[in-house]
Amino acid sequence: MSLIATLGAIEIGLVFALVALGVYITFRVLDFPDLTVDGTLPLGAAVAAAMIAGGVNPVFATLAAIVAGCLAGSVTAWLNIRFAILHLLAGILTMTALFSINLRVMGVPNIPLMNRPTVIDFFAWLNPLIAMTGLPGRPTLRVLALLIIVLVIGALLARFLKTEFGLAMRATGANPRMARAQGIRTDMHVYVGVALSNGLVALAGALFAQTAGFADVSIGTGTIIAGLAAVILGETIFRTKSIVVAIFSCLIGAIAYRLAIALALNAGWLGLRASDLNLVTAVLVGIALMLPGVANPLRSLFKRSAP
Amino acid sequence: MISVRDVHVTFGRGTPLENRALRGLDLSVADGEFITVIGSNGAGKSTLLNVLSGDARAERGTVEVDGIDVTRWPTPKRASLIARVFQDPMAGTCERLTIEENMALAQARGRARGLGAALDKPRRALFRDKLAMLGLGLENRLGDSMGLLSGGQRQAVSLLMSTLAGTKTLLLDEHTAALDPRTAAFVLDLTRRIVDEQKLTALMVTHSMRDALDHGSRTVMLHEGKVVFDIAGERRKAMDVPDLLRLFKQVRGEELSDDSLLLS
């Protein structure tokens, strides 16, 4: 595999590390399997791309994308809490609605961002360092910029989950009845958690648009499965209950997963094409869920719904 | 102080399965009183606790705790006044979280949870001291996940947790029913110690008439959603299990027909 292809795989892996963190919050922390993210990833990309193309500062555009993602997550939580709609269905409803909303936001199915300012430009101070290593300039800058963003957000999230508020959120997912008996407003924590999760995924979308150079309505398909794949892979590599390691393993899982996919697509003898990505992902996640002993979000979900 | 006045609770109103769990129940518990509650299956014992904790809503009547009308308060709001230990050892703690995290959750009961660290040195020291009082060696296992503990250990920690926030009212919902006899005796003994030391107002639901007489200062029997008798003081001291059965027959004019209540 070429250096450029490897850097590309790490770059997309870092973007999906944010998706993995979002999925970790809903599936693992809150025990709220949220499918909204298939709509929130393109939403984040759409908001950021439309605003940047309209001349808005890329930092503001990215922040606006995060807010849009949080709002989308709140809608899903609201459908579930206020109207007792099953969480899976609530997520699918929002995700379906988002497809139309994303088209409205963008006005066209695809916005190119070539030669537009992006948040990556704010990391140009790294360029002299990169020049010294002799690595290809632009791709390496993208990887380093994303790495810094992802590490900062991962550290903030780990810190958040160790606060009193974050601990209450973990209790909400682990044992809601006990949480309420301890004075925790579980509804509020579900709202905040699902909003936060979708905010992270929208940020991933916004960064995707700015690193890949375009936003497209179709990029959301399979987001949830890719995020889950990263979480499961990370958990398989690091078997732990510690929050810090769990967050770190989400990041490693996301990058390892993208590298594995890139290797598979590169191996000519397998005969795979880029368009086979979703099939490969679904098969891999399916196998991971079938394996015994693998920490398994879906299995615990089904066990719970059984009488 | 607890005051329950003319409380009615009906589950599944208007359906073939309509169940009038409480039918005008009256009960007041003075500060520092330790009441045991008995009754056959379906008598309304658990519903009484749920009405107090907020898990069930009274459709008529009022519930007061420490002189505050909490009838319309949801469960989390009531947690500032009431602590509860559940029957199922799994229910009262989070098995995915560590012992110290569970205790930190309980210590913050009834106050705002902000963005400060949930655990710090002074808190860990406090939790270690509290756990050492149990004599189970748990003070050296603060970072272990709760799921590694046995049912009895979990109930003991649940009891400790109920005292951390300084609330004065404690609800115990058959909290030894899922334990083996020796562990149950240990947890009951611990309950008595904690209630005495912290001068709590406690309400303990039990299936065992023996335990109901051996613990606390007053015993209430529920039947069909009402209090059928309420004994305390010298009269209660002189009573044994057969006397309770006789009393029930005398008041209700029928034999008590619940094997589990008679056998325990």
Q: Tell how strand B218-223 and strand B201-205 pair up.
A: unpaired
Please judge whether A174 and B113 are an interchain contact, meaning their C-beta atoms are less than 8 angstroms apart: no
Please judge whether B84 and A181 are an interchain contact, meaning their C-beta atoms are less than 8 angstroms apart: yes
Comparing C-alpha atoms, which of A176, A281, A302 is closest to residue A232? Answer: A281
Please tell me whether residue B9 adopts helix, strand or coil conformation: strand
Taking the C-alpha atoms of residue B47 and residue B69, their distance in angstroms, rounded to an integer, is: 18
Model pLDDT, residue B263: 52
CB neighbour class for B219 (10 Å; exposed up to 12, middle 13-18, buried from 19): buried
φ, ψ dihedrals at B2, nearest 5° = -125, 140
- Token readout for A20 is 């993995």
Residues of B whose CB is below 8 A from A186:
76
Q: For chain B, where are the alpha helices, taking DSSP H only?
A: 45-53, 75-78, 99-107, 121-132, 151-164, 181-198, 209-214, 233-237, 241-252, 259-263
The tally of CA atoms less than 13 A away on the side-chain side of residue A72 is 37
Q: How far is B101 from chain A (nearest CA, A)?
A: 7
Model pLDDT, residue A304: 42
DSSP element (H, E) containing A85: none
Taking the C-alpha atoms of residue A93 and residue A254, their distance in angstroms, rounded to an integer, is: 27
Comparing C-alpha atoms, which of A181, A274, A105, A144 is closest to residue B84? Answer: A181
Judged by phi (left if over 0) then psi (alpha if -120 to 50, else beta), residue B137 lies in: left
Beta bridge partners, B201, equal B169
Please judge whether B105 and A171 are an interchain contact, meaning their C-beta atoms are less than 8 angstroms apart: yes
Q: How far is A306 from chain B (nearest CA, A)?
A: 18
Mutate to test the interface with A, among B73, B94, B101, B120 (most CBs of A within 10 A): B94
Residue B89 at interface with chain A, using a CB cutoff of 8 Å? no
Model pLDDT, residue B118: 92
DSSP result, B176-220: TTTS-HHHHHHHHHHHHHHHHHHT-EEEEE-S-HHHHHHSSSEEE
Residue B17 at interface with chain A, using a CB cutoff of 8 Å? no
Distance spanning both ends of chain A, measured CA to CA: 50
CB B186 within 8 A of CB B199: no
Model pLDDT, residue B241: 87
Window 29-88 of A: residues touching B by CB (8 A cutoff) are none
Taking the C-alpha atoms of residue A180 and residue B109, their distance in angstroms, rounded to an integer, is: 10
CB B203 within 8 A of CB B37: yes
pLDDT average, residue stretch B63-71? 94
Q: Which of B55, B74, B79 sits opposite A182 (nearest CB)?
A: B79
CB A105 within 8 A of CB A47: yes
pLDDT average, residue stretch B49-62? 93
Max CA-CA distance within chain A? 62
Please judge whether B77 and A177 are an interchain contact, meaning their C-beta atoms are less than 8 angstroms apart: no
pLDDT average, residue stretch B143-156? 92
Model pLDDT, residue A233: 84
Model pLDDT, residue B5: 94
CB A65 within 8 A of CB A203: yes
Window 131-170 of B: residues touching A by CB (8 A cutoff) are 145
pLDDT average, residue stretch B24-45? 91
Q: Residue A129 carries which DSSP code?
A: H
Please judge whether B80 and A182 are an interchain contact, meaning their C-beta atoms are less than 8 angstroms apart: no
pLDDT in tens, chain A (307 residues): 788 889 999 999 999 999 999 999 999 999 999 999 999 999 999 999 999 999 999 999 999 999 999 999 999 999 999 999 999 999 999 999 999 999 999 999 999 998 899 999 999 898 888 888 878 888 899 999 999 999 999 999 999 999 999 999 999 999 999 999 999 999 999 999 999 999 999 999 999 999 999 999 999 988 999 999 899 888 877 777 788 999 999 999 999 988 988 888 887 777 888 788 888 888 877 877 776 654 555 555 444 433 3
Q: How far is A170 from chain B (nearest CA, A)?
A: 8
Q: How far is A101 from chain B (nearest CA, A)?
A: 34
Judged by phi (left if over 0) then psi (alpha if -120 to 50, else beta), residue A107 lies in: left
Window 136-195 of A: residues touching B by CB (8 A cutoff) are 160, 162-168, 170-171, 174-175, 177-186
Place of tokens 């149990």: B134
Beta-sheet strand order (sheet of B201-205)? B82-85, B169-173, B201-205, B34-38, B218-223, B226-232
Please tell me whether residue A61 adopts helix, strand or coil conformation: helix
Task: List Cβ neighbours of B244 (8 Å cut-off, separation of 6 or more).
Answer: B38, B209, B212, B213, B219, B221
pLDDT bucket at B154, cuts 50 / 70 / 90: very high
Q: Which of A165, A170, A241 sits opposite B115 (nearest CB)?
A: A165
CB neighbour class for A178 (10 Å; exposed up to 12, middle 13-18, buried from 19): buried
Please tell me whether residue B104 adopts helix, strand or coil conformation: helix
- Token readout for B174 is 């058959």
Residues of A whose CB is below 8 A from B54:
180
Tell me the one-letter amino acid at B56.
A
The model's pLDDT over B201-224, given as tens digits with 9 standing for 90+, comes to 999 999 888 889 999 999 999 988
CB B155 within 8 A of CB B176: yes
Packed helices A3-23 and A223-237: angle between N→C axes, nearest 10 degrees: 90
Q: Which of B83, B92, B104 sits opposite A167 (nearest CB)?
A: B104
Q: Which of A164, A181, A186 sits opposite B116 (nearest CB)?
A: A164
Residues of B whose CB is below 8 A from A167:
97, 101, 104-105, 113, 118
Residue of A nearest to B96 (CA): A174
Q: How far is A161 from chain B (nearest CA, A)?
A: 9
Place of tokens 């992902």: A281
Residue of B nearest to A186 (CA): B76
Taking the C-alpha atoms of residue A150 and residue B258, their distance in angstroms, rounded to an integer, is: 62
Instruction: State the complex-level ipTM.
Output: 0.89
pLDDT bucket at B261, cuts 50 / 70 / 90: low
Residue A28 at interface with chain B, using a CB cutoff of 8 Å? no
Model pLDDT, residue A263: 85
Q: Which of A160, A174, A180 sits opposite B97 (nearest CB)?
A: A174
Please judge whether A175 and B94 are an interchain contact, meaning their C-beta atoms are less than 8 angstroms apart: yes
CB A57 within 8 A of CB A21: no
Comparing C-alpha atoms, which of A53, A66, A39 is closest to residue A111? Answer: A53
